[in-house]
Amino acid sequence: MEHAERHVVIQGYSPLRHTDLTHPALTAPATRLGATPAQVVLAWHLARRVTTLPSSTHPDHIRDDLTATHLTLSADELHTIDTLDQHPATPSPQEQRHGRPGQRASFGP
C-alpha cells in the first residue's frame, strides 16, 4: 500500500459500479462470512486503505454497506481480489455524451 506510506488517501467513488458481484472471488468470501458480495468489495477496499464512497440512498443498502467495516478477508481472499481484471470499463452512454472517460473497475485504486 504504497499510497498509505506516502500519506496519500485514495478514494473509491461508487466502488460497486461495473463490478461483477457474481464472480467467485467475491461470492466465496461472502458465503464464508455470511455477507453479500457487495460487502466483500467494500471490505476489500477498506483492507487496502481505499476510502470508499458508496452511492446509495436506500437506508437498507447504507446499513449493509456499514456492515462491511466489520468484515475481515483472509490474505488469500485479498490477493485473489487484487488479481481481478482492472481494465477500464466501457463508459456509460451518459459519460459518453458528457465527454467523461470510463470508470475503472472497482478492483484497485
Burial class (CB in 10 A: 0-12, 13-18, 19+), 37: buried
Average pLDDT, the chain: 79
For residues 65 and 85, the model is more confident at: 65
Query: What 3-state class would DSSP assign to 11?
Result: strand
The CB density around residue 12, as the number of other CB atoms within 10 Å, is 23
CA angle 23, 19, 56 (to 5 degrees): 125
> How confident is the model over 90-108, as a mean pLDDT?
49
Is the pLDDT assigned to residue 102 strictly greater than 70? Answer: no
- pLDDT confidence tier of residue 91, bands split at 50, 70 and 90: low
* 3-state helix/strand/coil string of 27-80: HHHHHHHCCCHHHHHHHHHHHCCEEEECCCCCHHHHHHHHHHHHCCCCHHHHHH
pTM of the model: 0.72
